[in-house]
Chain A
Amino acid sequence: SQQGEEDPQALSIQEGENATMNCSYKTSINNLQWYRQNSGRGLVHLILIRSNEREKHSGRLRVTLDTSKKSSSLLITASRAADTASYFCARTNFGNEKLTFGTGTRLTIIP
């Protein structure tokens, strides 16, 4: 069963605006990863943030992690039409490498 939740479930914004997606989880983690998925097929890895990190950047992406609140956020700045996709957070626990995925956020960028 999935033990993470993303919100919102769906988000539509105008091209050029920033998009923020949130992820919550219930147990302690080793790391948390964000993935993008187009058309329900392969997942593309975006960013990995470890439990002792608070923020990471990669291009237009910014990920934060608050382990005290058991939550993470993904910010996409200056959105583009090509950012339209589903975004998932996935976590691993210490001693176990399986990924536990959230339910995903469906992001639509309106040109």
Chain B
Amino acid sequence: GAGVSQTPSNKVTEKGKYVELRCDPISGHTALYWYRQSLGQGPEFLIYFQGTGAADDSGLPNDRFFAVRPEGSVSTLKIQRTERGDSAVYLCASSLGQPGDTQYFGPGTRLTVL
């Protein structure tokens, strides 16, 4: 079946603009995760959904970052007033939602803030 998909694959924006990044999880996966990866680093956790609710949002760096998953499937990561430091690859993953289940990653969205 289809894997995790993310759109757009690349996004270039100007400092101060608003961006939305979309994630389509694997069908039937109840858990969805967002991570951010800066160049030369491992991914860092942002937020995780179990169904429609955010089970853990402790990784969101500040209140400019927000994520939703209104129907328990597709999720959107929203970044307001973007800053150059937000430039990174934003990765989405999904799992079946049981403790310890494997997380399957999408190809990521490369965000560049000029």
Contact = CB atoms under 8 A, between A and B. Distances in A.
Interface stretch (B13-21, B37-45, B62-70, B71-79): B37-45
B91 A43 contact: yes
A96 B56 contact: yes
Given A97-B48, A98-B45, A43 B105 contact: yes
B80 interface: no
Interface size class of A (residues with CB under 8 A): 20 to 34
Contacts of A101: 35, 42-44
B99 A41 contact: no
A58 interface: no
B31 interface: yes
A106 to B, nearest CB: 9
A39 to B, nearest CB: 10
Main secondary structure of the interface of A (DSSP, over half): strand
Contacts of B89: 40-41
A59 to B, nearest CB: 16
Interface string B78-114: 0000000000010101010001111111111010000
A77 interface: no
Given A35-B105, A43-B43, A104-B42, 9 more contacts: A43-B105, A48-B100, A48-B102, A88-B43, A97-B33, A98-B33, A99-B35, A103-B42, A104-B41
